[in-house]
Amino acid sequence: MSNVPQRSLPLFLLTIIIIALALPPARSNELNYQLSSSGPPSTKLTYHGGALLTKQRTINVFLLWYGAFSPKDRATVNDFFASFDPHQGSRTRTTRQEPTVSTWWKAISSYKDKAGNPVPATIKVVKQLDDGAYSLGKNLKRAQIANYIQSKTTSKALPLDSNGVYFVLTAKDVQVERFCMGSCGFHDSISAVPGMGRVVYSHVGDPSLQCPGLCAWPYAVPAYGPPGRPLVAPNGVGADGMIMIIATVLAGAATNPFKTGYYQGDASAPLEAVTACPGIFGAGAYPGYPGDLKVDNGSKASYNAFGASGGKYLLPAIWDPMSSQCKVIA
């Protein structure tokens, strides 16, 4: 991974990522995209002494597919998670293709808790549930998402895992409170079973129909902002938008799961591991330009990481605690 200097952001900034305070009923670490007149001032994440997701050697992931997803999009998301296995990166007949998703995650594995335990290098999907019947309807409140997770763990449809992350992935025709209204996703925690501690959950939606320019940049152009052409998405605008948000939320959940880990600023509106490096995907990034990326010769799709089953993904820069700088995968 290579260092990327922090830059001040002018008034016409296309898209940056911040984390803000979620509305009641619960506070959550929220992925927001909005126009801004300035970038993060001298970004430095501070460790506040709380727990990270370091109890086990693996962060278990639980996927709850809410609504109708195409088989292709499901496969893309599953291949992305499989790509965290360092043995699952793309290969040609003679060599392994670099950099990989697991290479990108190494920066997150450099975050340590107060006992010196690092964030696990292994991410594994252990169970998936399908709710193609839209059991809660197509217009969800955030409180419903929290209750949805709680119901799945108390009914034992999903195991209780205090070192896991429960992702509620909503289809493109599902409206979620604050999604696409400045927010692209969030992570939070709940006490799923009294006396059993808290578990971390997240919401990520498919932005392709409701707000591609807001939550899938640079694969779509915002409705308001400087003119420009979107990049070609290797897996489709919706799937790649979700991958970028999943990556961002997962990094934040692992390093600041209970708002007492690594962050900058107020605990209720922190900058986290990825959101501290807004809009940076490659070397030379500046407002409105994601940085230098790889381009597929055939499809002309832009990406910066290889994954399982020949997958290609675009992953954001990570604030590196070793160098105190934003680093892009390289």
Given a contact cutoff of 8 angstroms between Cβ atoms, the answer to whether 288 and 281 are in contact is no
Alpha-carbon gap, residue 295 to 239, rounded angstroms: 18
| Per-residue exposure over 202-233, b if at least 16 CB sit within 10 Å of its own CB, e if not | bbbbbbbebbbbbbbbbbbbbeebeeeebbeb
Count the Cβ atoms, other than its own, within 10 Å of residue 7.
13
Residue pointed to by tokens 């010196």: 116
Given a contact cutoff of 8 angstroms between Cβ atoms, the answer to whether 268 and 309 are in contact is no
pLDDT band with cut points at 50, 70 and 90 for residue 140: very high
Q: Report DSSP letters for 127-196, one per residue.
A: EEEEETT-TT-SEE-HHHHHHHHHHHHHTTSS---TT-EEEEEEPTT-EETTBTTTEEEEEEEE-SSTTS
Specify the pLDDT at position 183.
Answer: 87
| Selected residue with higher pLDDT from 239 and 17 | 239
Is pLDDT of 33 > 60? no
Average pLDDT on 246-269 reads: 95
Kindly report, residue by residue over 182-236, the tens digit of the pLDDT.
789 999 999 877 777 899 999 999 999 999 999 999 999 988 776 789 999 999 9
Given a contact cutoff of 8 angstroms between Cβ atoms, the answer to whether 19 and 272 are in contact is yes
Mapping DSSP to helix (H, G, I), strand (E, B) and coil, where does residue 125 land? Answer: strand
Residue 218: cis peptide before it, omega within 30 degrees of 0: yes
Specify the pLDDT at position 26.
Answer: 40
Alpha-carbon gap, residue 285 to 304, rounded angstroms: 13
Alpha-carbon gap, residue 183 to 205, rounded angstroms: 10
| Helix (H) or strand (E) run with residue 61 in it | strand 58-66
Is pLDDT of 67 > 70? yes
Specify the pLDDT at position 18.
Answer: 33
Of 311, 319, 312, 207, the closest CA to residue 263 belongs to 319
pLDDT band with cut points at 50, 70 and 90 for residue 148: very high
Alpha-carbon gap, residue 15 to 173, rounded angstroms: 24
Specify the pLDDT at position 184.
Answer: 93
Alpha-carbon gap, residue 204 to 194, rounded angstroms: 26
Is pLDDT of 299 > 90? yes
For the entire predicted model, the pTM comes to: 0.88
Name residue 99's beta-bridge partners: none
Token reading at 299: 């499809």
Under DSSP, the state recorded for 308 is G
Kindly report, residue by residue over 5-27, the tens digit of the pLDDT.
443 333 333 333 333 323 333 44
